[in-house]
Structure 1
Amino acid sequence: MSEELAKVLVVGLPTSPAAAREHVDALLHAQLVPGSEGTRDDIVWADALLVTSELVTNAFRHGGGLTGFSARIQGDELLLAVADGSPDFPVNRRQPPDQYTVGGYGWPMVNRLTKSLSVTSTASGKCIEAVVHLV
């Protein structure tokens, strides 16, 4: 695989969170070959896949569908961009510590697992850009 192709692996717009994870997993494999000098840390690898899955799941579940997706590695960081058709930004829901509800845990988790996170309005909705540190 060429170096340029390995840096940005584009296989079309993912049709599901699982497909997005597969794209990112292939990109990580292309850049961080296990056993080489850049041997992957399984926890960091899992974090990258979890952030990918959560952002894409939310685009389908809350954002009216996935309208854009990109993943690339720059240095020791995974740069993700996930766009959807909703102008509504994600929110942290405050829940009393003694109450357990369904949902509301993903966005706070993404905040904890990323080095940086931004949400910007687009003409057709919003785009979330996340940076996951890979070392």
Structure 2
Amino acid sequence: MPRNAAAARDVVTRLLETQFCALGGEGPADVVVADALLVTSELVTNAVRHGGGLTGFAAEITDDGLLLTVADASTRAPVTEKRDPGVASVGGYGWLLVRRLATRVSVTYFPGGKHIVALVALS
């Protein structure tokens, strides 16, 4: 299991390279890879910073795209902060980005934590 967001991005990068090199075809466009890595980074960072620590991580390629599962030790729901458009602020955009970039996102709660599953289309 990766220890941080950078290590999780490395896992996803290797998975994408391996999958698309094995197929012998072109891989996803750079912008699609960037979106997949951003979703990975945000989910893992949120688990570490706000979720009581990363307790599980999985990444797999399915027919629908990149399926990410991130588990943490918190039963609190992810939060999208309300913003005052007239005030510049730093941070707090992670969950909003995940929901915008992923095709599908679900949160499953269990005693002692939660799993967030996000599907990022690769085409």
TM-score by length of 2: 0.94
| Structure 2 match to 1:66 | 54
Residues 119-128 or 32-41, more deviating:
32-41
Structure 1 runs, 4 residues or longer, greater than 3 Å off: none
| Structure 1 match to 2:120 | 132
Alignment of 1:46-57 (within 5 A): 46-57=34-45
- Work out whether residues 83 and 125 of structure 1, in 8 Å CA contact, stay in contact via their aligned partners in 2: yes
CA separation in 1, counterparts of 2:111 and 2:18? 33
CA separation in 1, counterparts of 2:67 and 2:36? 10
Unpaired runs of 5+ residues, structure 1, are: 1-12
| Aligned residue type for 1:112 | R
Per-residue CA deviation, residues 45-66 of structure 1 (Å, 9 max, x unaligned), is: 1110110011000000001100
TM-score by length of 1: 0.86
CA displacement at 1:112 relative to structure 2: 0.7
Alignment of 1:1-135 (within 5 A): 13-33=1-21, 36-135=24-123
CA separation in 2, counterparts of 1:72 and 1:38? 18
Per-residue CA deviation, residues 2-53 of structure 1 (Å, 9 max, x unaligned), is: xxxxxxxxxxx11111100000100000112399434320000111011001
CA displacement at 1:76 relative to structure 2: 4.2
- Work out whether residues 33 and 40 of structure 1, in 8 Å CA contact, stay in contact via their aligned partners in 2: no
Residues 33-42 or 88-97, more deviating:
33-42
- Work out whether residues 54 and 110 of structure 1, in 8 Å CA contact, stay in contact via their aligned partners in 2: yes
Unpaired runs of 5+ residues, structure 2, are: none
CA separation in 2, counterparts of 1:57 and 1:45? 18
What root-mean-square deviation, in Å, do the aligned CA atoms of Structure 1 and Structure 2 show? 1.6
The count of residues paired between Structure 1 and Structure 2 equals 123
